[in-house]
Amino acid sequence: MTLTGDFGGPPFEEPAPNYPTVFGITLTPVVSGVLIALVGLGAAVYLGSLLIAPKLEEAAKLQQEIAQQENDLAQREVLLKQLNDAIAGLERAKQENRDVRSLFASQKALDTLLLDLNRLIVASGAQLNTFEPDSAASGIVQDGSLGPELNAKLKQQVTNVTIRGPFPSILQVMEKIDQQQNFLVINNLTMELVADQPGEVITTFKLMAYVPLTPEEIAALAPPPQEGQPQGGEQQGQGQQPQQQ
């Protein structure tokens, strides 16, 4: 059996969904999804502030400590370089001092000066007539004759020397004295011809040898410390008893 036609009833309508309302806002699925997303984002930000922020602060502090340590290390390297430069400068000064002191005679060389001088005179074909130390002219150099920098740094030994021989031999003696490693100076040089022997001369001069002072000798030259000035006398009139009438 087939039924046709319009039954004449009203069309069927589905009832509207009943969404909850909060603070006047209907919580539709879209609105609820947005709210849930916002809540999740806020929770993530809050958790991030609790967990990530301390780590970031710790990392920044660690970076600052690393920078400070690098700065301290750089300063240590600068100080170490300055220390090494100072040590190297001190070693150079010591070496220069040794080099300068080697130019002068030593006390041991002065003790054998007579033998050494006589040896080179004889080897040159001349002869040594006199070798007389001049104690009055010897002593500590303080007259600035070698420059003010060497005052009270050296002592000199002056010896009056007379040699005799052919003129070429005398010149050879002078050259050998000049070639000596020790610092020897010839002063007041005079030459006289020998009347009965042509070509021979008698030469006199002062031979000056210089020796650096020892640390003990330098310390002995230092002026003694000044004693304290005596206190002034007591003031007069203090403690006097009044005269009795």
Give per-residue pLDDT as tens, 37-57. 766 766 766 666 666 767 778
The per-residue b/e assignment along 33-62, b for 16 or more CB within 10 angstroms, e otherwise, is: eeeeeeeeeeeeeeeeeeeeeeeeeeeeee
Q: With contact defined as beta carbons under 8 Å apart, do 150 and 101 qualify?
A: no
pLDDT value at position 4? 54
The Cα 24–Cα 34 span in angstroms is 16
Confidence check: pLDDT of 8 > 90 = no
Q: Which CATH superfamily is domain 107-221 in?
A: Ribosomal protein S6/Translation elongation factor EF1B (3.30.70.60)
- For the chain, the average pLDDT equals 75
All structural domains of the chain with their residue ranges: 23-103, 107-221
pLDDT value at position 244? 46
Better pLDDT: 180 or 167: 167
